[in-house]
């Protein structure tokens, strides 16, 4: 009788990258639909153009063989939709296309394609757009404008490489109330106006330039978490840590800092926590690591929002945590079955290195040898040295 | 056996394309990222480096049998530094504006790893003619790489090329392109395109052989 010795996993789910990505796209569709309902034609055009740019770029780099993967796995669609949702609805379409190109080319193809990327591609695209076009990306138009399904925001149709026209006159003609035209975070940061709770959660009332509705995003995220397409720990850790930090600061000086509720439900924190930070390639795989990763994002977000010149900090917080992911995985390795829980302390830790150690990846690959740790990597052993000395003599 | 004309041409093309310092070896990135804000800066930086590279490779190749092995690096540095001083004064005399734009990066040509690398790896082992040809090829490749970076950054960052406006006055400048991150972004894109192109060529060759 022959026994085959294999390392885990022994049971595999019948679930491919394509399946997971397809379900994430399904869960994004209601959010996109609501976004279009909020902002009308411009939002629809923005979603279409950015996603098309991402798909075209992906197609190009897959075809030339620079990047692994295939456009039929829906990952570029997710990147495109998330990027478009994180940009202002009236963002000039040519800039959106540039951001889409940068997202896939710099965020994904450059690292070798799907699964190899270090940073979330959608956020790379947004960071590029933020650095290249800082004025256009801060220009928000109010939601629920009358006639939004018949006319576009004038900035949308800017000619390629040209400056977008000013929207001030266009907005004046619409005669809106005081809260119009800026995001709640910018309002709070630069003018000291705090938005109400109901407006923030549902995004339904008023003309304030809020993003996609947080309640809807949480609902769609809950569907994904229940179907195990994303790990609930990451959003829970992000929201928990951001809420806790904001609450601590609020308790210290309530007149200086806004309430934690406002912090949680304004800006892109919910969208980032549910859809961007949970990107499988760029977040830790260890359960403990997910908590650390999420806590880091929440903390950084609140710190950037309070103490920097930018009104929004989710993007940079997630990108920084993406960069720290390998490190977080390294310090949060789980104890393998059969090892002492205190093995992490002493010398017994040797070999307790589950996810990163090549020996654990697959025993089936003959060349996957566990490297021996030695002080001097290339130092020949004493006997071998003696032999060669004798041979020379 | 004397080298044929194609061999020499190969020697030159080696540095210009197959072993391009920027796109293939990714050497000398410090000036490549720092001074490539405009095409003129990039081109002049490339030419200055080419001059230093060619002249010092020629001299190193002439002296290759005289230089003791133990002090060769120090000797190469002295030779390179001499030519860098020449270029430094030359640029100062020709155009003070350019000198100010390039700043400390002219003096820093001394520590450009392309030059020391070529002196050590090629010029110290070959007679003067191949050494100079190879150095010229490397210099041309370096200039090409710098120009590719500088042109893209100037076109997108200022809407100009060699100071000539391309898009009219309503051009939207890409702020990031004139900042240091823009250098990294553009370099990354060029590396990506270059590797895509190389793979394509290799695949074509494989099909032809099959």
Does the structure show a pLDDT above 80 at A13? no
Structure tokens at B165: 């406006």
Q: What residue in A sits closest to B174 (Cα-Cα)? A: A132
Does the structure show a pLDDT above 80 at A197? no
Does the structure show a pLDDT above 80 at B87? yes
Instruction: Determine, yes or no, domain membership for B154.
Output: yes
**What's the confidence (pLDDT) of residue A203?**
64
| Chain A positions in Cβ-Cβ contact with residue B177 (cut-off 8 Å) | 132
**What's the confidence (pLDDT) of residue A194?**
66
Whether B185 sits inside 8 A of A128 (CB atoms) is yes
What share of chain A in percent tops pLDDT 90?
Answer: 25
What share of chain A in percent tops pLDDT 70?
Answer: 75
Q: Distance (Å, rounded) from C-alpha A171 to C-alpha B110?
A: 58
Distance of residue B55 Cα from the nearest chain A Cα, in angstroms:
36
| Exposure on the CB side of residue B202, measured as CA atoms within 13 A | 10
Instruction: Determine, yes or no, domain membership for B168.
Output: no
Tell me the average pLDDT across A246-254.
87
Q: Distance (Å, rounded) from C-alpha B145 to C-alpha B114?
A: 13
**In the structure, what pLDDT confidence band is assigned to residue A369 with cuts at 50, 70 and 90?**
low
Q: Lowest-pLDDT range, A75-89, A173-187, A368-382, B148-162?
A: A368-382
3-state secondary structure of A284: coil
Does the structure show a pLDDT above 80 at A330? yes
Q: Distance (Å, rounded) from C-alpha B28 to C-alpha B109?
A: 9
Does the structure show a pLDDT above 90 at A154? no
- Residue B172 has its nearest CB partner, among A61, A106, A133, at A133
Does the structure show a pLDDT above 70 at B75? yes
Q: Lowest-pLDDT range, A69-73, A221-225, B20-24, B41-45?
A: A69-73
Q: Distance (Å, rounded) from C-alpha A72 to C-alpha A59?
A: 10
Cα B106 to chain centroid distance, Å, stands at: 13
Tell me the average pLDDT across A292-309.
89
Element housing B10 (H / E): helix B5-13
Tell me the average pLDDT across A329-336.
80
Q: In terms of Cα–Cα distance, which of A112, A28, A98 is closest to A64?
A: A112
Number of domains observed in the structure of chain B: 1
**In the structure, what pLDDT confidence band is assigned to residue B36 with cuts at 50, 70 and 90?**
confident
Instruction: Determine, yes or no, domain membership for B65.
Output: yes
Provide the mean pLDDT of chain A.
79
- Domain residues for B8? 3-163+174-209
**In the structure, what pLDDT confidence band is assigned to residue A333 with cuts at 50, 70 and 90?**
confident
Distance of residue A117 Cα from the nearest chain B Cα, in angstroms:
14
Does the structure show a pLDDT above 70 at A5? yes
Whether A133 sits inside 8 A of B167 (CB atoms) is no
Contact B41, B150 (CB under 8 A): yes
**What's the confidence (pLDDT) of residue A363?**
45
Provide the mean pLDDT of chain B.
87
**What's the confidence (pLDDT) of residue A192?**
63
**What's the confidence (pLDDT) of residue A321?**
94
- pLDDT tens digits along B143-176: 999 999 999 999 888 888 888 888 877 888 888 8
**What's the confidence (pLDDT) of residue A349?**
47
**Which of B169 and A284 is assigned the larger pLDDT?**
A284
Contact B26, B84 (CB under 8 A): no
- pLDDT tens digits along A45-104: 999 999 999 999 998 888 877 677 777 788 899 999 999 998 888 888 999 999 999 999
- Residue A163 has its nearest CB partner, among B170, B175, B191, at B170
Does the structure show a pLDDT above 60 at A331? yes
Q: In terms of Cα–Cα distance, which of B43, B124, B140, B47 is closest to B79?
A: B124
Q: Lowest-pLDDT range, A280-289, A324-333, A363-372, B137-146?
A: A363-372
Q: In terms of Cα–Cα distance, which of A136, A212, A144, A213 is closest to A177?
A: A144
Instruction: Determine, yes or no, domain membership for B119.
Output: yes
Please name the residues between 149 and 178 in chain B that touch chain A, using a CB distance below 8 Å: 159, 167, 170-172, 174-177
């Amino acid at each position: 009788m022959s026994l085959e010795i294999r390392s885990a996993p022994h049971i595999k789910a019948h679930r491919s990258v394509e399946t997971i990505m397809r379900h994430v796209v399904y869960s994004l569709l209601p959010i996109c639909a609501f976004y279009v309902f909020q902002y009308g034609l411009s939002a629809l055009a923005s979603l279409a153009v950015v996603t098309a740019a991402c798909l075209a770029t992906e197609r190009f780099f897959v075809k030339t063989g620079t990047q692994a993967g295939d456009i039929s796995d829906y990952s570029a669609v997710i990147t495109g939709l998330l990027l478009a949702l994180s940009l202002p609805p009236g963002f000039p379409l040519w800039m959106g296309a540039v951001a889409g190109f940068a997202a896939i080319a710099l965020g994904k193809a450059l690292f070798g394609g799907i699964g190899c990327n270090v940073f979330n591609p959608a956020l790379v695209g947004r960071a590029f757009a933020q650095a290249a076009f800082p004025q256009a990306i801060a220009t928000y138009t109010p939601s629920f404008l009358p006639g939004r399904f018949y006319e576009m925001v004038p900035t949308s149709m800017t000619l390629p490489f040209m400056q977008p026209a000013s929207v001030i006159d266009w907005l004046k003609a619409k005669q809106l109330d005081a809260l119009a035209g800026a995001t709640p975070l910018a309002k709070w940061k630069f003018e000291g106006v705090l938005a109400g709770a109901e407006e923030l959660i549902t995004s339904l009332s008023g003309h304030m330039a809020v993003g996609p509705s947080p309640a809807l995003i949480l609902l769609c995220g809950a569907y994904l978490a229940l179907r195990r397409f994303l790990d609930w720990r990451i959003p829970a850790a992000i929201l928990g840590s951001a809420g806790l930090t904001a609450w601590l600061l609020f308790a210290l000086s309530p007149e200086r800092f806004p309430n934690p509720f406002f912090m949680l439900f304004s800006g892109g924190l919910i969208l980032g926590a549910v859809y961007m930070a949970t990107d499988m390639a760029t977040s830790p795989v260890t359960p403990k690591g997910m908590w650390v990763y999420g806590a880091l994002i929440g903390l950084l977000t609140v710190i950037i929002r309070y103490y920097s010149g930018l009104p929004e900090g989710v993007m940079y917080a997630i990108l920084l945590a993406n960069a720290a992911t390998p490190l977080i995985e390294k310090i949060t390795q789980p104890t393998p079955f059969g090892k002492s829980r205190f093995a992490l302390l002493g010398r017994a830790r040797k070999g307790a290195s589950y996810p990163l150690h090549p020996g654990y990846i697959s025993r089936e690959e003959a060349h996957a040898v566990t490297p021996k740790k030695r002080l001097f990597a290339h130092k020949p052993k004493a006997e071998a040295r003696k032999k060669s000395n004798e041979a020379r003599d | 056996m004397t080298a044929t004309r194609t061999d020499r041409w190969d020697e030159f093309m080696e540095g210009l394309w197959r072993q391009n310092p920027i796109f293939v070896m990714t050497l000398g990135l410090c000036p490549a990222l720092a001074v490539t804000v405009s095409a003129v800066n990039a081109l002049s930086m490339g030419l200055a480096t080419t001059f230093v590279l060619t002249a010092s490779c020629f001299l190193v190749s002439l002296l290759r049998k005289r230089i003791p092995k133990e002090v060769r690096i120090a000797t190469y540095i002295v030779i390179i530094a001499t030519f860098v001083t020449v270029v430094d004064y030359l640029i100062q005399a020709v155009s003070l504006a350019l000198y100010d734009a390039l700043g400390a990066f002219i003096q820093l040509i001394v520590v450009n790893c392309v030059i020391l690398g070529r002196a050590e790896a090629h010029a110290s082992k070959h007679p003067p003619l191949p050494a100079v040809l190879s150095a010229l090829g490397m210099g041309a490749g370096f200039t090409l790489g710098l120009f590719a970076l500088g042109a893209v950054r100037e076109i997108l960052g200022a809407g100009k090329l060699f100071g000539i406006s391309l898009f009219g006055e309503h051009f939207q400048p890409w702020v990031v392109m004139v900042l240091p991150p823009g250098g990294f972004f553009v370099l990354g894109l060029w590396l990506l395109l270059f590797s895509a192109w190389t793979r394509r060529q290799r695949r074509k060759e494989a099909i032809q052989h099959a």
